[in-house]
A and B are shown apart, each in its own frame.
Chain A
């Protein structure tokens, strides 16, 4: 089947999409957007988190056919050209990255959190990131990054 959707602001089209295919496969293997990572394929790890019509979702749990006519924003779509999004910048500065595999999903999920909750408490950060697994960092630097991005965003206003 054919699937038409908007990805990171561009109209995209894919042909010969298998009916049981996930949005994650569509993004990585058809659209050349490998930012969203393929790890568990069961919604447990959050590595494939993307915005679907502005709401974070695990791309592995969305059927490709379900995004017909809809809008997707991936981690590649957060930066403005070469200028990183403040959340991406904060992850770099705080060293919230080790192997990096969980990073794209965490960045998208954390990006959404501070959009909705400009000054999140630690409990709110932890709850919001409860569906994103990281096996390297111990999460402390990730929490630092979210706090830093939230502070910068507030200052920028």
Chain B
């Protein structure tokens, strides 16, 4: 086994291109568990910590936020809580403070676990993943096309995740998850909603509810069509939104919960997060 410490992004890409059995490591909160339990022995660990540009975020000229793959959750919460509320809420529910101090969205994306907490809000907000390889250059992959299967993403073997891009919230965003306890637990299932009142559009994301994180398109379309954006929220619309979100899931029975429970919980979370988002929207309307 080797331990590679590239000093630049270019060197990191070259190392990844050189050998497919190179595992990138940033916070280490997933990679080291596999190492400690002898579950995986890669040819080399590629330490991305020396590449400080990965831990930076910026606002691009068109207003989009470009957040480095190595920005830890604790900084997303502190620095991007106002602009990316759904993503920050999900970050607050990851592991423990120690894990949030080290873990990153890049790691969540790389792991591509269906239970990864950040996938749902990234999908709901319409994020794009920036990946790069020495030979192929930069590729922008919409979150909707990023997840291929259980712990499989659409990165090619020579690619590294560089950043995610997402527009600052154009309306209320919420994340909700069910766990068997409050802290340090993998979600039984999770749900994220993003409202785009100006466009009359709705975004959703489901976690731990199918082989990959996914959106509930029928639910989004239904809600966008039925919402009276300047009026009140009809409980029947809420109810039907919950039903459609639940219908979009194809969960499994496992130790954390049954498929039936997950489907029920998703409908409840969809209804509740919509209620919270609507309350914010109404409050904002009163101020304006």
Contact = CB atoms under 8 A, between A and B. Distances in A.
B150 interface: no
Interface in B15-45: 25, 27-29, 31-33, 35-37, 41, 44-45
B3 A65 contact: yes
A43 B47 contact: no
Given A61-B27, A62-B28, A131-B184, A42 B33 contact: yes
Dominant secondary structure at the B interface: mixed
Q: Closest 3 CB pairs between A and B?
A: A131-B96, A130-B183, A19-B3
Interface of A: 1, 18-20, 22, 41-44, 46, 49, 55-58, 60-63, 65-66, 68, 109, 127-128, 130-132
Contact of B97 (A20, A65, A130): A130
Given A46-B98, A62-B102, 4 more contacts: A41-B33, A56-B98, A61-B102, A63-B31
Contacts of B99: 43, 58, 61, 131
A63 B97 contact: no
A63 B25 contact: yes
A43 B49 CA distance: 19
B102 to A, nearest CB: 5
Contact of A56 (B3, B95, B97, B184): B97
24 contacts: A41-B33, A41-B36, A42-B36, A42-B37, A43-B95, A43-B99, A49-B98, A56-B101, A57-B98, A58-B102, A61-B28, A62-B28, A62-B32, A63-B3, A63-B25, A63-B28, A65-B5, A66-B25, A109-B98, A128-B97, A130-B183, A131-B95, A131-B96, A131-B98
B15 to A, nearest CB: 14
Contacts of B250: none
A22 B33 CA distance: 10
A49 B184 CA distance: 15
B60 interface: no
A46 B47 contact: no
B221 interface: no
Nearest to B92: A127
